[in-house]
Structure 1
Amino acid sequence: MKTINFAIDLGTTNSLVAKYDNGKIKIFNNPLGLKQTLPSCIAFRGNRIVIGDKALDYLEKDAENVCMLFKRKMGTQDTYFVPSLDKEMQPIELSSLVLKELKNFLPDDEVVNSVVITIPAAFDTIQSNATKKAGYLAGFKEVVLLQEPIAACLAFANTSNTEVKEKEHWIVYDFGGGTFDVALVEVDERELKVVDHQGDNYLGGADFDNLIVKNLIVPFIEEKTGQSDLWKSLKSKSSTHKGLYFELLKKAEEAKKELSNFEETEIELDFSINDVDLYDHLIVKREVFENLILSNVENTVTIIKDIIKDNQLLNSDIKRVILIGGTTYIPLIKKSITNAIGVEVNSSIDPTSAVVEGAAYYAGSKPSELKEDEIVEEEETKEEAIIDSKFFYEQNTRDAEELITAKFSGVDIDNYRIIRKDGGYDSGVKGLKNNSFSEFVPLLEGRLNQFKVQLLNSALEVLKVIDPLSINHGSYSVNGQPLPNDICMEVDDLDASATRLERIFAKGSILPLKKKIYKTASKTILKKSKSNLAINVIEGRSNGLPSSGLSIGYIEIFGEDLEDDLIKGTDIEIELEISESRELKINVFLQSCDQEFENVFSESERSISVNKINTEINTVLSDVEAVIKTANANENFEYSNKLESIRVGLIEIQIEASMINDDDISDTKFQLDDRKRKLIQDFDDLTRNEIVAKEIEEYNDTKADLEYHLNQNENERYKTKYQRIIQNEKEVINSLDRYLIRSKIKELEDLFNAIIQSSDENFISYYLGLKLYDNFTNKRKAEKLFDQGDKALEQKDYKVIRHVVYGLSALVHENDRHQRKDFNDNSKTGLN
């Protein structure tokens, strides 16, 4: 069983490649310059493509033909126009070129078909699929993705000689050139598990470079040359100053690195702009730089606090904070984390290479699924043996011995023999039981142990040899990769006359995942009609609005596709499968039509435009302002102030968006879109909490009314049903899921109505309540019914009271009956 062994850290600013080799990690150097890191920068020079340090050199000479920071645009439709090629280049294409160049770091005799490529933990499914696509485009036949915090943890655990005797919690703080992640990791004596994570795909060291250019260098240039509006001009694709923008970014990056070691640095400026020559220098002090980035750093520390709080932990429960990513060299970061949470901040591993080292450890334990690469060697045999085998064992362990279990099928096998390939262990020939065996094998400490297994017949002739089985001693293993967000399905909520999200896989579930669910059709779809059934799988928060998530899989089945009518209420079987690299497979079976529909989704692009950002903000702003108006009318000013800050934040985003163009070459619009989504989520949280509070209040009121009537009723059947309804009350209320709470209210109301209708006398309270109502659609008719009701009360004729209540209820104004709003078939998904 061959393992993948090779790993690549595909970074925003720098990339590396490494190999796992017999328990050791080898990071390969660039044959040109012998540096381990390859700048993720590409220059196009006529028919030549230059990648890495030399490409950076062309920023000053020919910036229009240089592409960089494209990892931040993975999964988007943004492209980079290359004049020398006269074509647009996609981020996927550019990333594949970096991956191909990293292959050149390897010796000529290394053939790499399989590789582990790292991604930020906060990458969504589309960004992940884009990365995987780049790997295949680079020529790899098998690409496995690994989240960067997991890789960093493996690097730290396997190189720091840290001894963990009891379960500990670590924080991985990953601040790279283009992305930021915080992961909460649970560690025991042999395994790592990512419990939770939060991050920002548009925050990194490159943003600090931009802050230096925008706030320090550009004002200095404008002052010295008399230029104006230079910042906006620099970032435009059509700008004649594009080369200057990248040149200034490079100078800013150098200054940032200098300020990590010194209290001040000097930025030399020597260029011509709009026919004005500038030769000067700018002194930047560390204090000024730290003030520029302080709010961003504080935001990252807040994320650490939030992730600790969200998981019901205290700061004291965190054993250590592990720093990785080049941006963590900035002294302010370590100081801010230490001051804020008082936890040991560990920077002992190289923040630049930690991710690729950990990924290589993972690759060394990850079996390749390429059939052509599976090593199943057959020694000379007396007959052609066809034998199927399944092996089960821990590929990483810290124990002195490990259990290997195997099961075989095929020709008659009587015996087996396990030999450690260094010659230090031989099990001898042993008999199989039921074509299987379980054997503890001793391990050499701190190295890769390889075994071969011989399968023999009764005459002790070798039928087949399985070679090798690899077990790495002393290394930590990973308890799978967690799902970064909930995976949900959009379904119809007929009671609410709207669609809602139903969680299929919870955030943190270990990939790969597979589940079969059963739904019923909420509408009838006639064959050959234009009606449709929509299977919409969404990545996002399960308690959020369907429109707030990211659609990652959509199957639309029209009546024209059906061989028979799909009748409302019939069963629909849906199977969902998500691979370790987040490819989604959906299989839909319509039992009544005896038809199956299947699709595999690996979407790798989405578009973001300034107009789209403004449109979505305008849509939400009207709702925000309406809620603020209601809150002020109710003198709920604290709530109103929170909403007002969201409103202001959305307007600020609109203002910033109006100042950039769709051809803006920076990441500004992606950052604005990210801020927009977070503010809308905050609004959703605030309003949802208010709605949930009202639902809980209604639940308690309904429950109290029901309990009163239960005490008046001697029927034990109702009391038993009541206890069954409220038995999971605590879990439902604590879920803060309005749909679950609403369903409980409906169950209580149904039981309440059943009790009321079981006795005419119970309608008295209904009747007395209706006497307080004065908005009947036909007041004359209502008065006649009240006359009948009053007489019936005097005569204790409760059957008449029942009919009077029915008559009065029909006269209640529609708006006061809490009728459902219109929810026509065109608005429905078709799933219930």
Structure 2
Amino acid sequence: MKYINVGIDLGTTNSAIATYENGKVIIHKNPLNLKETLPSAVAMRKDKYIVGDKALSLLQTRPGIVQMNFKRLMGANARSLQKQIDPVRLSQAVIEELLRFRESGTSSAVVTIPASFDTIQSNATKEAARRAGLEEVVLLQEPIAACLAYANAEGTEFAKEDKWLVYDYGGGTFDVALVQMRNGILDVIDHEGDNYMGGKDIDQDIVRDLICKPIENETGKEKLYEQLIHQEDAAGMSSFISYAEEAKKILSLQNEYTFEVYSEQLDIDTDVTITKAEIDQIMMIHFNRSYHLIEKLLDKNNLSFEGINRIVLVGGTTYIPLIRKQLKEKSQTIVDTTMDPTTAIVLGAAYYAGSVETKLEEATPDQIETVKKNERVDLQLVYETQSNDEEELILGKTDSKKAKFYQITNVDGFDSGLKEFSNKFSAFVPLEKKMQNLFKVQLFDKRQQTIGSIQEVKISQGLYRINGQPLPADISIELDGDGGETLLESIFTKNKILPLKRSIYKKASKSILKNSGDKLIINILEGASGNSAASNLTIGYIEIRSDKMSQDLVKGLDIQLDFQISESRDLTINISIPSIGYSDFQVFNPSKNPINYDKIIAEIQSYINRINQEKYEEENTDNRESVIRELHSIQNELVTLYGVAIENQNDIQTDILYRIDDDKRTLVQRFDRLLNHRNILEELENLKAAKTHYLQNAAFADENQKVQFEDFLSKEHELINSNNKNLIKSKAAELEQLANDAFNNNPKRYQDIFFALLLKVRGDKIKDKKRWDELSMKGREVSKEGNYIELKYIVSEMAAICELPKRSASDSGPEISKKSLGIE
């Protein structure tokens, strides 16, 4: 049994690599300067990539060729230096450089990502690692890695049940995670985050407000900051960011700092003075944004700081004294500063890598030959993989008659010696504290010759491990709803532990002729399933293609979709339509998110206008004042965002375009949540009616329909208490369709519909009264005879000469529609 053992922290500002060896984590140092971290900076000179400190050294002489902070653009098509810059390629260069820190080759590694990274960003990270030469890449969320580092550090002792907040404020991203510590297991309960919030944003605000504005006031120059972000050459912005970084450091120790600002290109040569109070004011704005996310996380989990045992700091921005002070004062909770926040993630990544089995290892030719020579022995071992004791029991059992002795050894010198046994044995082995203890178990025959293969036993003493990684956001599919609107159906919900799998059944929404070139498309989205599609991120499309069909697809046929998502967020979908023998397998691993900036601006405008209409609608509701107040707030923020979008549409130095898109989705989510209260009671009544309708026809349901209804029952309580109008409406429509499908399996269904038509269709709604009377009389006759085939045709003709009655929420009878009659 072999383990990955190598962990990589691919950071926005700095990166690192570490290995888990013999129960300990070793951070590999840069052989050139013996530093434990590598700056995530890349310079491009012709076809050569220069990485790390060498790249940073070029900022003074050739800043235009140096790229930094590209992690925040992971999965995006970034514009810079008058050409396309691929963040995946730049990240590849960083990982390649890190791999050189190790003396031996590496084919597998655990690579960390922010917990709030979406599927596209996660896939882009995996692609960068694979391009760098890694054949096997396992992703690990950064808050989990940090917890593993803190929990497994030497000399640390915690209560058996603790709750932690991981406050991860890095150079480019922010995450806060709620983690439960229980009996050696780390369980991530929930998280919040912002992929466009980090130390880099503090620096940019310092440049704009504390450097550029004073220079404008003194020299009369206008829009200096706008000139910096619109420059094709990044030299100006890079030098100004350096001023900001230096100011942050010095003003953490003194109250005032004066420095010279020089730029030949911008014709600037002046002094700028920044005070500690001014820089603290900017830092407080950013800290408050992070604190708001903490409050949001605690609130939705019904917790206060009193229920939190400690706050764990991660990321270089947490070195700022103001942030540590404010966090401690506001939370009144232990703020753990015992570990270097810049290396905590790589330490945790290595701990995790030491517990993940590699899928690449195969038996060597020598090992294969040894097994051929020796008897293949089935040795079953039973032991606890996690222990807090000083020794642990290993139980062994084999049916081999040749096995007479066993021996247990480890690399630390423990040797049980040859022990005689018959079929079963038990042995206590000593455990080294705070490490993973690796033992080898070997069997021998009566001549004390080895038989079978060596088996490895791995027991962690006092080490914490994780209970899987949570899914950061809902994964949904988009479905057509009533009145042209679309509804999202959740496939996997946020915070479910990966890996996950689920099967669902859908009806074909249209007919498709084989080889016609037509296809059925279902949109896959990531975000909040209870909100609109506009607030979600599209990650792919399920395609049911005519060129793969052996028969025509008829509208209404059952489609089975089998979803699987791995721990590293690989999404695969198996599509089958049994009635026509259709089968297809699709893998979704998009690694780029092209942004249509005109579309973003149009969507912002659309929601600004829509809110005006919604405010008018709210005038007739009971809670109009609070709702209208929140609608005003959302609209004002959208108006501000629209102005920022117009002002920065030519920005090619920062990632503000992607931040605007992210902010737009967040505001749309707030809008969706606010209006989900409307008509919630009506939708619950529709759900109840659909359930009753199914139960009336449950006796005729086939196995697939029964499975779908049982799935609904298992989630019914959660659904009713969700207060999510769109989700309830979607499930009611799905359940109504299920009831109709079950009803359609009943050969007597046309008898029910026939009498329902007689009872419910008023005389003024009948187009041909004479023919209606004839069909009514004939229908009664064939109904008594039990001739349901002829009755079907009678019902179809009656439906054609009348206006069909609409079904109400309280109607428990059969649905009467062209669709239910099969004549649509």
TM-score by length of 2: 0.81
Amino acid aligned to 2:3: T
2:452, 2:304 → 1: CA distance?
56
Partner of 1:145: 139
> Does structure 1 residue 506 correspond to structure 2 residue 493?
yes
Bigger mean CA offset, 559-568 vs 130-139 = 559-568
> Does structure 1 residue 607 correspond to structure 2 residue 594?
yes
Partner of 2:574: 587
Equivalent of 1:260, from 243, 249, 252?
252
> Does structure 1 residue 89 correspond to structure 2 residue 85?
yes
Say if 1:608 and 1:410 are closer, same or farther in 2 by CA, change over 3 A: farther
The correspondence of residues 209-288 of structure 1 with structure 2, limited to 5 A, is: 209-238=203-232, 242-274=234-266, 276-280=267-271, 282-288=272-278
Bigger mean CA offset, 25-34 vs 65-74 = 25-34
Say if 1:31 and 1:166 are closer, same or farther in 2 by CA, change over 3 A: closer
1:536, 1:549 → 2: CA distance?
11
Equivalent of 1:477, from 452, 456, 465?
465
Residues 471-506 of structure 1: CA deviation (Å, up to 9, x unaligned): 34232111111111122233455x676542222222
**How much has 1:6 moved relative to structure 2?**
1.7
Partner of 1:32: 32
The correspondence of residues 742-781 of structure 1 with structure 2, limited to 5 A, is: 742=729
CA contact (8 A) 2:760 2:805 kept: no
1:442, 1:621 → 2: CA distance?
67
Bigger mean CA offset, 302-311 vs 332-341 = 332-341
2:478, 2:397 → 1: CA distance?
42
> Does structure 1 residue 191 correspond to structure 2 residue 171?
no
2:480, 2:378 → 1: CA distance?
47
Amino acid aligned to 1:203: M
> Does structure 1 residue 544 correspond to structure 2 residue 537?
no
The two structures, once aligned, show a CA RMSD in angstroms of: 4.3
> Does structure 1 residue 364 correspond to structure 2 residue 358?
no
**How much has 1:22 moved relative to structure 2?**
1.9
- 2:237 alignment partner, SS class: helix
Partner of 1:792: none
The correspondence of residues 291-302 of structure 1 with structure 2, limited to 5 A, is: 291-302=281-292
Identical columns (%): 39
1:301, 1:421 → 2: CA distance?
47
> Does structure 1 residue 646 correspond to structure 2 residue 637?
no
**How much has 1:642 moved relative to structure 2?**
1.1
2:84, 2:562 → 1: CA distance?
39
Residues 368-426 of structure 1: CA deviation (Å, up to 9, x unaligned): 22124889947957826667888776655434345667899999978754333434242
Structure 1: any 5+ residue segments left out of the alignment? Answer: 707-724, 752-756, 771-775, 782-805, 826-832
> Does structure 1 residue 67 correspond to structure 2 residue 58?
no
Partner of 1:628: 615
> Does structure 1 residue 204 correspond to structure 2 residue 198?
yes
Partner of 1:830: none
Say if 1:410 and 1:739 are closer, same or farther in 2 by CA, change over 3 A: farther
- 1:234 alignment partner, SS class: helix
1:403, 1:526 → 2: CA distance?
65
> Does structure 1 residue 7 correspond to structure 2 residue 3?
no
The correspondence of residues 396-407 of structure 1 with structure 2, limited to 5 A, is: 397-402=387-392
Partner of 2:45: 45
Bigger mean CA offset, 374-383 vs 93-102 = 374-383
**How much has 1:129 moved relative to structure 2?**
0.8
CA contact (8 A) 2:407 2:415 kept: no
Residues 705-735 of structure 1: CA deviation (Å, up to 9, x unaligned): 99xxxxxxxxxxxxxxxxxx99997544312
Residues 754-804 of structure 1: CA deviation (Å, up to 9, x unaligned): xxx99xxx99x999xx9xxxxx999xx9xxxxxxxxxxxxxxxxxxxxxxx
- 2:642 alignment partner, SS class: helix
**How much has 1:671 moved relative to structure 2?**
1.4
The correspondence of residues 308-707 of structure 1 with structure 2, limited to 5 A, is: 308-372=298-362, 377=367, 383=373, 397-402=387-392, 417-426=407-416, 428=418, 441-456=429-444, 461-466=449-454, 468-493=456-481, 498-632=485-619, 636-662=624-650, 664-692=652-680, 695-696=683-684
1:438, 1:691 → 2: CA distance?
65
Number of aligned residue pairs: 754
2:123, 2:537 → 1: CA distance?
14
Partner of 1:130: 124
Say if 1:439 and 1:578 are closer, same or farther in 2 by CA, change over 3 A: farther
CA contact (8 A) 2:261 2:268 kept: no
Partner of 1:158: 152
Partner of 1:716: none
- 1:648 alignment partner, SS class: helix
Say if 1:376 and 1:327 are closer, same or farther in 2 by CA, change over 3 A: farther
**How much has 1:594 moved relative to structure 2?**
1.6
Residues 321-351 of structure 1: CA deviation (Å, up to 9, x unaligned): 1111111112222232233332222222111
Bigger mean CA offset, 111-120 vs 51-60 = 51-60
Bigger mean CA offset, 168-177 vs 643-652 = 643-652
Say if 1:313 and 1:34 are closer, same or farther in 2 by CA, change over 3 A: same
CA contact (8 A) 1:378 1:466 kept: no
Structure 2: any 5+ residue segments left out of the alignment? Answer: 694-711, 741-750, 770-797, 812-816, 820-824
Partner of 1:722: none
CA contact (8 A) 2:228 2:236 kept: yes
The correspondence of residues 703-742 of structure 1 with structure 2, limited to 5 A, is: 731-738=718-725, 741-742=728-729
**How much has 1:566 moved relative to structure 2?**
2.5
**How much has 1:218 moved relative to structure 2?**
0.8
CA contact (8 A) 1:236 1:661 kept: no
Residues 65-107 of structure 1: CA deviation (Å, up to 9, x unaligned): 111110000011114448xxxx64300000111111112323x
1:747, 1:277 → 2: CA distance?
69
Partner of 1:111: 105
Amino acid aligned to 1:264: E
> Does structure 1 residue 307 correspond to structure 2 residue 301?
no
- 1:510 alignment partner, SS class: coil
1:816, 1:483 → 2: CA distance?
39
CA contact (8 A) 1:387 1:411 kept: no
1:199, 1:374 → 2: CA distance?
45
Partner of 2:77: 77
Residues 255-299 of structure 1: CA deviation (Å, up to 9, x unaligned): 11223333333333233244x35042x222221112123222112
Amino acid aligned to 1:110: S
- 2:213 alignment partner, SS class: helix
Say if 1:40 and 1:633 are closer, same or farther in 2 by CA, change over 3 A: same
Say if 1:422 and 1:813 are closer, same or farther in 2 by CA, change over 3 A: closer
CA contact (8 A) 2:535 2:666 kept: no
1:217, 1:696 → 2: CA distance?
57
**How much has 1:580 moved relative to structure 2?**
1.7
- 1:554 alignment partner, SS class: strand
Say if 1:555 and 1:648 are closer, same or farther in 2 by CA, change over 3 A: same
The correspondence of residues 782-821 of structure 1 with structure 2, limited to 5 A, is: none
CA contact (8 A) 1:179 1:204 kept: yes
Residues 221-260 of structure 1: CA deviation (Å, up to 9, x unaligned): 3234432111111112535xx3111111012112112233
2:673, 2:428 → 1: CA distance?
53
Partner of 1:170: 164
